[in-house]
Structure 1
Amino acid sequence: MSELLFPLGGRRAWAVWATAVLTYLVTVLHRGSMSVAGLQAAERFDISASALASFTVVQLTVYAAMQVPVGVLLDRYGSKRLLIAASVLLFAAQSAFSLVDSYPAALAARAVLGVGDALVFISVLRVVMSWFPALRQPVMSQATGMLGGVGAIVSTVPMAAAFHAFGWTSTFAAAGVLSLLTGLAVLFLIKDTPYDEPLRRTKQSLTEVRGNLRRAWKEPGTRLGLWTHFTTSFSGGTFGLLWGYPFLVQGQGLAPTTAAAMLILPVLASLFYGPLVGRYAARFPFYRSWIVLAVIGGSVVMWTVVLLWPGRAPMPVLLMLIVVQAAGGPGSMLGLDYARTFNPATRFGAANGMVNTGGFIAMLICIGMVGILLDVSSGGAPQTIDDFKFALAFQYVLWAIGTRQILKYRRKARGNLARYNPEAYQALLANQVVPLKG
């Protein structure tokens, strides 16, 4: 039997986790680096709104497509190797993006960035699972998402200031160098497990891998997690990654510096939401879906107010929209919590990879459709507030689909657990989570 060299949740655990979170923070910076660069990119590459949206759509498409393969790789190679590989890919992608001046080459660079991004988040979650006791994992997962969101702050006002002071090439190149530095930190500071033996890397046959993936997908709790992630996160992601800044500047008539500063608010709000959601999930796991539905309802209500407001909405309403919508990030983490609850540890990577595709699939659909609808509505002219309202109303389609699926798979997940793991179901009714055996 392997021996525990470092205590779970001890000082070494915090050092390993901090290094992993720093890597995730820099990755979020890269992911959101187009949030304030959209207008400059449209001018640099001479492209339309739908072509501009394709930068983020390609990036998110690659990210989503990589999630299941990354889950398999994570179960095979562990967090450390994947985080090092991610750092190299992110450096290469941002360096290339800083230099290219053709639209196809820029798209290729964003695709590589999507691959690097895909390797990071679930690798960091594996660090949480390996180094902290089970009862602290929901709160630590929320803290991971919350602190990683600081990268979104850096990708707004500081990035906008850097673009103004140093230009396109220097700003994106400097961002790429940050990933090289975090890669070195991972190399020297991260260990996959706190035990005295290296991570087991038993090779699985293709048949075994397929079987593991099939079992993870057939588990209704995995699909509940996927649709939770899908429905809670796409609205805030669409706003923060691309369309929020143009909506505020071109649609609402705000100054660019004001709009960039407002994109910091979701991260600050998540510092409030994250601990609340984490504590709720740890204390009342049977009732997690109610906070998910509340998060979705809040976004629907605030977008309805903004879209129905005659002309431009007043600043307090816009601020309320951004703050309420920010709950989607912590809410989406509950989807990953469902993957942990309804799957044994042997399927964690595969199940988490599947769940993590949800929100990014929804984001790429929404970002792409908003770009297309903006072009249709404006007819090639500069977009107005009415064009943005028409395009952003597409969100209701995804909210309706996702909410229906959450209700469906909530019922199926509970029924499946009660049928095949009655002890685990009774524990869940008592608001306790029992790890499932593979």
Structure 2
Amino acid sequence: MPRSRSAAVTEALGARVGSGRAWAVWGVGLSVYLLAVFHRSSLGVAGLLAAERFEIEATALALFTVLQLVVYAGMQIPVGVLLDRFGSRAMLLTGLVLMSAGQLAFAFATTFPLGVAARALVGAGDAMVFVSVIRLVAAWFRPRQAPFATQMTGQVGQLGAIVAAAPLSWALQHYGWTKSFAATSTVGVLLMVAVALVVADSPYPDGKVTPIRLRALARSLRLVWGNPGTRLGMWSHFVSQFSMTVFTMLWGFPFLVRAEGLSQSAASTLLMVMVGWVVVAGLALSWLVGRFPFYRSWIVLGVVASMATTWTLVLARDEPAPLWLLVVLVCTTASGGPASMVGFDLARSFTPLTESGRANGIVNVGGFSASLLTMALVGVVLEWREPSGVAAYGLDDFRVAMAVQYLFWGLGTVQVLRYRRRAIDHLHRLHPGAVEQMKRGEPFVHPGFVDREGV
């Protein structure tokens, strides 16, 4: 019997999954994420200038980034719901508008409250970007391609931090605060055009988003949160991501300059090395995750162990570390970025595409909650140790302050081990054969929620 025209059209559209069109859609989404990382990281190299411009000390300086991340993390679940309702294209456009407006406002802010409000606006726009791109990956790529595309989203996107670390640092020195930040806000307008012309939510005509009833939404959130695989992804993100975020967004540059005695140019170079290593580590981890899906959480904990060990070697010294050890430090810390992407890959295994926005939002809360708490605690400890201000901070002050990371590594490790066990039991109970499939190195694609999924 000849196939119907609609079946032929569906098959033709299905051929677009993982095709050149898929890479084009992903490329535009990735460009938006790269810009979001740039805006997010811009305060990392401008922290000392911000302290002078707004006449603030360490706790207030940390508040800039902490509030930005509070907004980011607090919006993840609402953004996930909106993402499943309106789709990636609409959320990317909204995020670009908010980020561009926030960065422009930050350029002209001269008081601390206005500066904080501007960074909160940047955080609100940033909150909409990454999970939108990850949803595009789930929709446009095949299961074997998805781990690589997910890793590359996180790692290539970190090139935005390189732009913040070197060119922005140079621009701030030569053109000043207002011109530098105002210029960066204009890039978002160009990307709005690209998103409107290229990005589509799905390669299938029936893949469009649909309205969600409140009762169905509440049930869906319970299923997503009750699923131990979602929380395994969240805690994997929690334990691996925060150290790199804290280092690149706020405290790494002052640590390298004030504690380790490096020049500002040398510190900027190390931040560039750090972000460059993210891409290398991402390629390695994408292969490992794709090859050994059953051991993904163990891969995450292995990276965390390497970070904690290197930080111990640096913080245990009562004098500045040699340059080679600082290079090792920034590289191992940078590896936490790719490791945190594993959390989204875990969520993809335990959640169908229709619920992926909510699941990814929950996962994303993990790392950024840890990041904002760590940033705040580092600022509190520094100000407690040295009330005289940023200019007076030294090696001993940072040794104590940066040690707060161990609290979050410890908590995160316990929770990953706890929910790994629960997630395996969950698969055995509801999806027989899935565990054995992943042990063979084969990806598991979630077939859709069942009645007892979240129990």
- 2 CA distance for matches of 1:351 and 1:329? 19
Secondary structure of the equivalent of 2:73? helix
Residue 101 in 1 paired to residue 110 in 2? yes
CA contact (8 A) 2:259 2:393 kept: yes
Residue 43 in 1 paired to residue 52 in 2? yes
Equivalent residue number for residue 276 of structure 1? 284
Equivalent residue number for residue 327 of structure 1? 335
The equivalent position to 1:380 in structure 2, one of 388, 413, 418, is: 388
Equivalent residue number for residue 317 of structure 2? 309
CA contact (8 A) 2:292 2:441 kept: yes
Amino acid at match of 1:151: G
Q: TM-score, normalised by structure 2?
A: 0.94
Amino acid at match of 1:376: W
Residue 435 in 1 paired to residue 445 in 2? yes
Equivalent residue number for residue 452 of structure 2? none
Equivalent residue number for residue 412 of structure 1? 422
Equivalent residue number for residue 352 of structure 1? 360
Identity of matched residues, % = 44
Secondary structure of the equivalent of 2:186? helix
- 2 CA distance for matches of 1:324 and 1:375? 27
Comparing 36-45 and 422-431, the one that deviates more: 422-431
CA contact (8 A) 2:259 2:395 kept: yes
CA contact (8 A) 2:68 2:119 kept: yes
Q: How does 1:362-401 map to 2 (within 5 A)?
A: 362-381=370-389, 382-401=392-411
CA contact (8 A) 2:201 2:208 kept: no
Deviation at 1:201, TM superposition (A): 3.1
Equivalent residue number for residue 294 of structure 2? 286
Equivalent residue number for residue 138 of structure 1? 147
Residue 29 in 1 paired to residue 38 in 2? yes
Equivalent residue number for residue 181 of structure 1? 190
Amino acid at match of 2:111: S
Deviation at 1:198, TM superposition (A): 6.4
C-alpha distance after superposition, 1:249-281 (max 9, x if no partner): 111111111111110112211121111111111
| Pairwise CA RMSD | 1.2
CA contact (8 A) 1:250 1:385 kept: yes
Residue 425 in 1 paired to residue 435 in 2? yes
Residue 403 in 1 paired to residue 398 in 2? no
Q: TM-score, normalised by structure 1?
A: 0.98
Secondary structure of the equivalent of 2:145? helix
Amino acid at match of 1:174: A
Secondary structure of the equivalent of 2:211? coil
Residue 161 in 1 paired to residue 160 in 2? no
Moved over 3 A (4+): none
Deviation at 1:148, TM superposition (A): 0.5
Secondary structure of the equivalent of 1:155? helix
Deviation at 1:232, TM superposition (A): 0.4
Unaligned runs of 5+ in 2: 1-6, 450-455
CA contact (8 A) 1:193 1:199 kept: yes
CA contact (8 A) 1:78 1:199 kept: no
Equivalent residue number for residue 52 of structure 1? 61
- 2 CA distance for matches of 1:194 and 1:347? 17
Equivalent residue number for residue 219 of structure 1? 227
C-alpha distance after superposition, 1:121-162 (max 9, x if no partner): 011111111111111100111111111111010010111000
